[in-house]
Structure 1
Amino acid sequence: MEQTAATPGEASGAPAGRAGPPVPVRAVSGESPAGSAGAVGPLVRGLEVLRVLATGPEPRRHPGDLARVTGLARSTVDRITTTLVRVGVLRAEGRELLLAPGAAELGNAYLASCGLPELLGPHAASLAGTLDESVSLAVPDGDGVRFLTQSARRRAMAISLRPGELLPAGHCAAGALFAAGRDEDGPARGTGTPDRHRRVAEARARGFAVDDQMIEPGLVAVAVPVRGPDGAVVCAVGVESHTSRHSAASLEERALPALRRTAAAMEEALASAPAATTHPAPPVATAAGAREDALKEELGAGFLRSLARGLDVLRAFGAVRGPARLTDLARLTGQPRATTRRSLLTLRHLGYVQEEEAGFRLLPRVLELGYARLSGLTLPEIATPHLVDLVRRVRESASVAVLDGDDIRYVARVAGSRIMRIDIGIGTRLPAYATAMGRVLLGALPAAERTVR
């Protein structure tokens, strides 16, 4: 595993053609969320602004652009973005706004709550190693297919399906499987095309589906369903390849037997998983109330407390496996039950939460709130803004390096503004034992590996 280190001083996010334009946030019930009884208006508007930043074609936006796209007043956008910046979901660079790593916490909450990556990810990684092809897990999300994880193979023609990415159900193999599972005894739900109805019928009859360059030219895939203990389709596991290696037919022949064995192992893992659990300690914000009070006192009307509280409710789902009870979410966030319930009802109207008999369940649509865009960032892209802030505070150069054999390799660097400085380019290698970052990384290795080195 790559080890990373950052130190001050000298050394001693959708592939093109897949995503459409952003669509306004919709209420699953068909009514306007802002006009729904009990809806939290600032939370509705705040998530709309966040979604535009997360799904729009440009990762950076001026507040005026956000006002134009969302139809909100500029003063409202300013209050929303001020709040989102202060709670760590957005960051400001000059007059531009973009997602901050804290936005990934919302998607992480869904992934932890559903438990699928943790339970099924190792099986997918093992299959990828066996077949030497990319393997992904996907779940249904409305009329689309949302990808959760991918165990990719490093190649010149790499198959890149980012976690959180949404694809139209009719354009991928997993979509046919989900449509077949929704309506076992009749035609596929929705109008659809005759070709799509044929693919769904084939998937239902054969128990698997094939994607012959429907997503993109050159991409072929085969997928099978993974069912939960109740027999319902929980997710799909798929193998993706390129036409330079396989045709759709040859990939089916090569991958399908192992794919079916892996799906069976995944179903066993789901059947033996423990019942829904709640972590005893609040991981969201130990002093959430004190933090909110301080921000409200500092920013006054510029801080939207109800928006911050709604985001805390989303994060709290990460501490609960399976449906979460209102009482647990209120305890985890430190909020009154009535306040928590208002946030949950608003999130339900927006399609991010589903209410069940056992409680509330976070839905995969939460991944649209920045997870897909942030999951595509490289380590240097994530680290550089933090290095800039560090250099500004300590007035020294700052770097990030990874362990590469017996050396360290610089992957990100921000130089301080000094007359005398050491220029170290990205990609520079230095002996690990002779540098501070190298010794930190060597010290973090397991004891047996440290001895070998």
Structure 2
Amino acid sequence: MEAAGTLERGLAVLRALAADPRRPVRATDLVRATGLARSTVDRVLATLAHLGYVRAEGRDVQPAPRLMELGEAYLAGGGLRDALAPLAGRLADELDESVSLAVPDGDGVRFIVQRTRRRTMSVTFRVGDLLPASRCAAGLALLDPAAPWAEDDQLIEPGLIAVAMPVRDRAGRAVCAVSVVSHTSRHTVAGLREHCLGALRKTVAEMEAALAGRLPSPTEAAPVPSPREAGPLPSPLAAETLSSPPGATGVDPSRAAKQELGMGFLQSLARGLAVMVALGTAPGGLTLADCAKATGLPRATVRRAVQTLERLGYAGAAGGGRFVLLPRVLELGYAGLSGLTIGEIVQPHLADLVARVRESASVAVLSGDDVMYVARVQTVSLMSINITVGTRFPAYATSMGRVLLAELPDERLATIEPRPLSPRTVTSRTELRALLRQAAADGYALVDQELEEGVRSIAVPIRDRTGRTVAAVNVATHAGRATNDTLLRDVLPELRKAAARMEADLAHVRTATDG
């Protein structure tokens, strides 16, 4: 397979996988969906698995959270999301309605920001979803940006209404639309317009001022064609590319992977995806020379990859010899993966951990003064600890709870009243605080039969991309099967490895931890 053809075929497989990211598929399904040869699909999947973009379990394959870094490259490099999302969030709070930002993409609009109000009837559009421009308020606002506003009176779905206005860059181009979305149980479309229009106008003016103040303007550097103008368009690796600051000289790790894996590894696919990620590392895009420098690839290789991405509608020329990613990149699994919960993200790693230590393992989050289990894998044993997802325990008497409480301020800890749950439960507030400080210093907590006699567990924190502890993972066993020393010696290292893998996935899924 020639280089450009390999990248194109790899992206075809990714599109087929992204059609339903939560449903595992098999290679034979992808052969039918793409029309590619089975041997080609197998080599593509092997390469994507090595890069961390897909996860295989037996014959089943599905996208992994790391795949989201392709969409993140567009969202970060385009600049609109990071500049305008705070203003969209403020508008949602002010109006107590859902607010969306969407950009033109061919004959539709694709969402790049969602600030949803949690109600029984709520908006379920996700970042990355595509809607027909002619059937939603955001699309209508971009189709006719000269109009003062646009309305969607149940065009896309019965009961759903919206009012939208275009947002222009400093050159006067409508680069996105902001929508206020509600339901007919709350407003008529006229009532929604009356409720939101003043605040919407003010927010649009602030958004346009924010875009005008950005240097260089990514929207001026890379004008996205409007729906009317645009017709039909004919891993570890990516992580290393992203970790280099703009202008830094990158290293091409695909050489080592090719030597290690041989014919099963499609080097040109890996390099093409690295180019895609690199294009999102600088506002306004990169020149071919800068992209070659950032990836450590030959300029000719970068040129072929960019030409393929242009042909498929994933990249475009931005002026000054630069190229940027376009919204279509978000179709590569971003919407489905962005909706994953923490439990769904950690479950595969939890299963791997249990297979290695042969003891039950769980992940929990802090909920009030309790830990609440969000994922669990139980080992098969005559004596097992019967806990299910949704189970709650007092945080102070559990290893996961101690890890989660360790980062709370003293005034919050002062509200906790420890009570005896077993003869070993620590009930002294002074002693509990000392144990929490020790857990923070050690990076783990071990609890010996304080929740229940016979139950011994050890836990470590799970952190988001900012370093904030958002969950904890533990291994629990019966005291007769493992001593404290055994847990520290044999289980703690494996626990830390599992937590690191979970954190790597969580870093790519903004909605899982960013609210």
Give distance in 2, aligned partners of 1:382 and 1:82: 21
Aligned length: 391
In the alignment, what sits opposite 1:19? none
Q: 1:356 to 1:321 in 2, by over 3 A?
A: closer
Question: 1:372 deviation in Å?
Answer: 1.0
Quote the offset at 1:282 in angstroms.
6.1
Check whether the contact 1:104–1:371 (CA below 8 A) recurs between aligned residues.
yes
CA pair 290-126 structure 1, distance change in 2 beyond 3 A: closer
Comparing 311-320 and 70-79, the one that deviates more: 311-320
Gap change, CA 1:170 and 1:51, over 3 Å in 2: same
Return closer, same or farther for 1:93/1:172 CA change in 2, 3 Å cut-off.
Answer: same
* Residues 365 and 373, structure 2, Cα contact 8 Å, conserved in 1: yes
- Find the aligned partners of 1:237 and 1:350 in 2 and give their Cα distance: 27
Higher alpha-carbon deviation: 59-68 or 283-292? 283-292
Equivalence for 1:351:
313
Q: Does residue 1:376 correspond to 2:339, yes or no?
A: yes
2:180 maps to 239
Distance 2:215 2:413 in 1: 36
8 A Cα contact 1:59 1:99, kept in partner: no
**Residues of 2 paired with 1:392 and 1:97: CA distance?**
20
Greater shift, 413-422 or 67-76, is seen at 413-422
1:379 is displaced (CA, Å) by 2.1
In the alignment, what sits opposite 1:71? 35
- Which of 382, 392, 395 is the equivalent residue of 1:432? 395
| Alpha-carbon distance in structure 2 between the residues aligned to 1:317 and 1:419 | 54
Tell me the residue number matched to 2:120.
156
The partner residue of 1:397 within 338, 360, 363 is 360
Question: In 2, are the aligned partners of 1:276 and 1:323 still within 8 Å (CA)?
Answer: no
* Cross-structure match for 2:283: 321
User: 5+ unaligned residues in a row in structure 1: which ranges?
Assistant: 1-33, 182-203
Q: Is the 8 A contact 2:250 2:294 kept in 1?
A: no
Q: What code does the residue aligned with 1:106 have? A: L
Matching residue's letter, 2:275: V
- Secondary structure at 2:179's aligned position in 1? strand
SS in 2 for 1:284: helix
Q: Which residue of 1 aligns with 2:215?
A: 274
Q: Distance in 2 between matches of 1:301 and 1:272?
A: 49
When residues 156 and 107 of structure 1 are mapped into structure 2, their CA distance, relative to the original with a 3 A threshold, is same
Cα distance in 2 for partners of 1:415, 1:144 equals 46
Aligned to 2:428: none
Aligned to 2:384: 421
Aligned-pair identity in percent equals 57
1:219–1:241 contact (8 Å) kept in structure 2: yes
Give 2:330's aligned amino acid: L
Q: Is 1:342 matched up with 2:304?
A: yes
Which has the larger displacement, 54-63 or 418-427?
54-63
Change (3 A) 1:275 1:440: farther
Does residue 220 in structure 1 map to residue 182 in structure 2? Answer: no
CA displacement at 1:365 relative to structure 2 = 0.3
After superposition, the C-alpha distances for 1:204-223 in whole angstroms (9 at most, x for unaligned) are 33x11000111111100111
1:163-242 matches, within 5 Å, as 163-181=127-145, 204-205=146-147, 207-242=148-183
Counterparts of 1:390 and 1:58 in 2: how far apart (Å)?
22
Matches of 1:125 and 1:452, distance apart in 2? 31
For the 8 Å contact 2:279–2:323, the answer to whether it is kept is: no
Distance 1:106 1:290, change over 3 A: closer
Contact conserved, 1:39 with 1:346, CA < 8 A, in 2?
no
Q: Which amino acid aligns with 1:409?
A: M
Match of 1:311 in 2: 273
Deviates more, 1:340-349 or 1:379-388: 379-388
Distance 2:264 2:373 in 1: 40
Matched residue, 1:106: 70
Aligned partners of 2:108 and 2:132 also within 8 Å: yes
The match for 1:262 is: 203
Aligned partner of 1:249 in structure 2 is 190
| 1:224-243 superposed Cα distances (whole Å, 9 cap, x missing partner) | 11111111111111011111
Q: Contact 1:226–1:266 (CA<8 Å) still a contact in 2?
A: yes
User: Take 1:447 and 1:160, find their aligned partners in 2: how far apart are those partners?
Assistant: 39
Secondary structure at the counterpart of residue 297 of structure 1? helix
* Deviation at residue 434 of structure 1 after TM alignment: 2.4
Aligned with residue 137 of structure 1, among 70, 82, 101 = 101
Deviation of 1:409 after TM superposition, in Å, equals 1.0
Tell me by how many angstroms 1:285 deviates.
Answer: 6.3
Deviation at residue 290 of structure 1 after TM alignment = 6.6
Distance 1:239 1:329 in 2: 38
Question: Per the alignment, in what secondary structure is the counterpart of residue 389 of structure 1?
Answer: helix
* Maintained 8 Å contact 1:391/1:416: yes
More displaced stretch, 312-321 vs 259-268: 312-321
CA displacement, residues 105-126 of structure 1 (integer Å, 9 cap, x when unaligned): 1001111001222111111111
Q: Which residue in 1 is equivalent to 2:221?
A: none
Please identify, of 67-76 and 286-295, the stretch whose mean Cα deviation from structure 2 is larger: 286-295
Q: 3-state SS of the aligned residue for 1:354?
A: strand
Separation (CA, whole Å) in 2 of partners of 1:308 and 1:106: 12
Report the counterpart of residue 48 of structure 1 in structure 2: 12
Larger Rg: 2
Return 60-69 or 75-84, whichever deviates more.
60-69
User: Shift in Å at residue 57 of structure 1?
Assistant: 8.9
TM-score using structure 2 length: 0.72
Quote the residue 1:299 is aligned against: 261
Moved segments of 4+, more than 4 Å: 285-290, 445-453
Cα drift, residue 452 of structure 1: 6.7
Q: CA deviation at 1:289?
A: 5.3
Report if the CA contact (8 A) 1:146-1:167 is conserved. yes
1:410 matches 2:373: yes
TM-aligned CA deviation for residue 246 of structure 1: 1.0
Q: Deviations over 1:168-194 (max 9, x none)?
A: 11110111111124xxxxxxxxxxxxx
In structure 2, what is the Cα distance between the partners aligned to 1:436 and 1:58? 31
Give the AA of the match of 1:284: L
Q: Answer whether contact 2:292 2:302 (CA < 8 A) is retained.
A: yes
Whose relative contact order is higher, 1 or 2, with alpha carbons under 8 Å and at least 6 apart?
Answer: 1
Distance 1:118 1:452, change over 3 A: farther
What secondary structure is seen at the aligned counterpart in 1 of 2:144?
A: helix
SS of 1:320 mapped into structure 2: coil
Q: Distance in 2 between matches of 1:90 and 1:282?
A: 18
